[in-house]
Amino acid sequence: MSALHLALASNVAGQAATTLLGVVEAVGGFVAILFIVFYVAGRATGRLQKPIALIICLGPALLLVAIGLVIPAITTIINSFTNQQFLGQQKFKYIGLKNYVYAFTDPATQQTILRTVLWLLIVPAVSVGAGLLVALLVDRMKHPSGPKTMVFLPTAISFVGAAVIWNYVYNYKDPSLPQTGLLSQVVMAFGWRNPPNWMLTSPLNTFLMMVILIWIQAGFAMVVLGAALKAIPEEVIESARMDGASGWRLFRTIQVPMIRGTIVVVLTTVMITTLKVFDIVFTMTNGNFSTDILARRMFSDMFVTSQVGRGSALAVILFIAVIPLVFYNVRVLRREREIR
Amino acid sequence: MTTVTSSTDVSKPLHGAEAVQAVRRRFSTPMASFFAVLIGLLWTIPTLGLFINSFRSKEDAATTGWWMFFVHPTFSLDGYHQVLTGSGGMLMPLVNSLAITIPATIIPIFIASMAGYAIAWLPFRGRDVVFFGIFALQVVPLQMALVPLQQYYVHGLRVAGVTILPSPHINGTLAQIWLSHTMFSLPLAVFLLHNFIAQLPTSVMEAARIDGASHLRIFRSIVLPLSMPAIASFSIFQFLWVWNDLLVAKVFGGSDPAMQPVTARMQNLVGNYGAHQELLAPAGFLTIVVPVIVFLALQRYFVRGLLAGSVKG
């Protein structure tokens, strides 16, 4: 190893040590403060004891939620009615609904919104379909853990990591050279001589990126739907079998209706995720080649191209789109709990 | 647990999940197994490709597909060596990811379980409103909070020119990322932990009260230890979430590479088409290996959290 190399290594080691020490200090400090507060407040007795305990226990959460979510959300709604361009700008005007009008009339933004709707329709449906299929299959296996874990594993992988992984599937090389992308290799083996450059070809690229998200979400769908399938009372299944229902009919007439609530919850949950995910498109194409979606556009409006007002309007549109999904979700969940 | 009960109570007829399993076992078909394994393999192939490419030699990985490894295998740890020791490499990002994830997991646990305890066991006026208010905040997308929150970190909270809350002066430090993740995690965390804490047996709580334990004492020595299953579920959730997060890291981590977590570093690497193409595979593998290990080791708790019903974001 050269001297430079060594110096660099020790430099990195020093930096790492400093960073980790900071973590130990922060966590230790946080716990220590909690202990001291608990100790001091624990001396209080009598009438004051409960209010003090209440403030200590609930105060931090309420304060953080107010600073981190409530006030920012309100501010973003206000920002969406302004022509604010960058963070902390002092002079800006209220321009009414102009940002919203822009979002729905600007051709590029219109395309982005339509594309997002396409993601919303396809990804949740296919994820749930795939998850349900695997859940049904592993339900009939003696040792289901192997395939289950294999399908579930992408849940632990970041969207960025997934983008890197799929890079080796969608990679493009001139057809005369040996291929490095799996997809090109496979379609060429099937006789397609000149496969396109997948990520540059619209609208194909959008669908190929959807596959990545489906790959990640199917495991979640499988686990939740699998649990719901297991919860169907055995008597129901058995009596249906006595009546001669099996395979597809059993699935369609008994199993699906009995887990309908869960299917809806999974669908809406995946929808919400789909609406918010910006990492995949951001990493794979950065929204170029006609692949942009709402969440990525919002990010670049806010932090890259200095269009805070317009970005905020997109955020509010996303917020409004999410509300009915979440409330529907909660209603179904609550009804199911009541039944149990 | 199920195996224990079934082996001790042999005489009893099977009930519930065990009975269902027994029935299903009889109907298990080789076809189902075959297709399940096939899909499992299909799902694993992309990751396998990354893994194989990560230790092939630079030239091979650049010019031929990873499946050629099975035709003429080459091993080389150069990629890993370069990615771990190089100046723009993954070592500091890995450290940063740890440094971000650990506090951002531990701090919300305390704050949320305290809040959950207060809502569940310290009756006060309007507690239903507080609980549903926090719960409903899950609706707010992260994206809505980013710009104003960053403004707060820089300038403090001002309404009509009057400073209500001063800036915490943590701009450009990891503390900013910890705090942001803590704030964003609270709706889910309070919901999950409250639901668990509320179901702790009343008798235990009352006995402690009669023994003269204060509320805070009860929280520390009864609620916290008994809530471990729920805390475990939430921790793994939060660990994976924070480790895999790119958005918060990009917004609050700034552009300083010395502060970037693996996800942000990785996104930079992918963005530089051509520049460090050969480092993508080892760097990518290093990015995913920690959450994958955590996930495989603690899958049980993760599933439990998942089934408790959660919408995160």
At A264-290, the pLDDT tens digits run 889 988 998 899 889 999 999 999 999
Q: Which helix (H) or strand (E) holds B158?
A: strand B157-159
Q: Considering only CB atoms, which chain A residues are within 8 Å of B63?
A: 177-178, 180
Q: List CB contacts (< 8 A) between B243 and chain A.
A: 158
In this predicted structure, which of A176-185, A326-335, B6-15, B178-187 has the lowest mean pLDDT?
B6-15
Please name the residues between 31 and 90 in chain A that touch chain B, using a CB distance below 8 Å. 31, 34, 38, 41-42, 44-45, 49-50, 53-54, 56-58, 60-62, 64-65, 67-73, 75-76, 79, 87-88
Minimal-distance CA residue of chain B relative to A211? B43
> Are A14 and A58 within one domain?
yes
Out of A20, A50, A79, a domain closes at A79
Please tell me the distance from the alpha carbon of residue A265 to that of residue A127, in angstroms, as a whole number.
13
B287, A158 contact by CB (below 8 A): yes
Q: Considering CB atoms only, which of B33, B186, B280 is closest to A65? A: B186
Residue among B312, B9, B17 at smallest CA distance from A237: B17
Same domain, A326 and A195: yes
Mean pLDDT of B72-77: 86
Distance of residue B142 Cα from the nearest chain A Cα, in angstroms: 8
In A121-160, the residues whose Cβ lies within 8 Å of chain B are 130, 133-134, 136-142, 144, 146-160
Chain B interface includes A16 (CB < 8 A): yes
Residue of A nearest to B44 (CA): A150
Q: Which domain holds residue A219?
A: 100-339
Last residue of a domain, one of A48, A79, A110: A79
Q: Tell me, yes or no, whether A285 and A199 share the same domain.
A: yes
Residues A328 and A239 in one domain: yes
Does A323 lie at the interface with B, CB-CB under 8 angstroms?
yes
pLDDT of residue B17: 61
The CATH number given to whatever domain includes residue A130 is 1.10.3720.10
Q: Angle formed by the axes of helices B262-271 and B228-244, to 10°?
A: 20
Residue A86 lies in a domain: no
pLDDT for the residue numbered B9? 40
Q: Count the domains in chain A.
A: 2
Is the confidence at residue A235, as pLDDT, over 90? no
Instruction: Please tell me whether residues A263 and A131 are part of one structural domain.
Output: yes
Would you say residue A85 lies in a domain? Answer: no
Residue A68 shares a structural domain with residue A151: no
Q: Are residues A220 and A114 in the same domain?
A: yes
What radius of gyration do chain B's Cα atoms show?
A: 25
Examine residue A94 and state whether it is found in any structural domain, yes or no. Answer: no
**pLDDT for the residue B31:** 82
Listed residue (A8, A233, A43, A165) closest to B53, CA to CA: A165
Residue A7 maps to a domain: yes
Q: How close B20 comes to chain A (CA, Å)?
A: 5
In this complex, which of B65, B151, B187 lies closest to A88 when CB atoms are compared?
A: B151
Residue B25 has its nearest CB partner, among A20, A27, A142, at: A142
Task: Tell me if A9 sits within 8 A of B88, measured CB to CB.
Answer: no
Alpha-carbon distance B138 to nearest alpha carbon in chain A (angstroms): 8
Q: Are A73 and A215 within one domain?
A: no
A157 and A32, same domain (yes or no)? no
Q: Please compute, for residue B139, the number of CA atoms within 13 A of its CA located in the half-sphere on the CB side.
A: 22
Q: What pLDDT digit, counting tens, does each position of B287-302 carry?
A: 999 999 999 999 888 8
- Quote the ipTM score: 0.89
CB A198 within 8 A of CB B82: no
Domains assigned to chain B:
2-76 (no CATH), 91-307 (1.10.3720.10)
**Do A12 and A121 sit in the same domain of this protein?**
no
Supply the pLDDT for residue B10: 42
Q: Is A231 strand, coil or helix?
A: coil
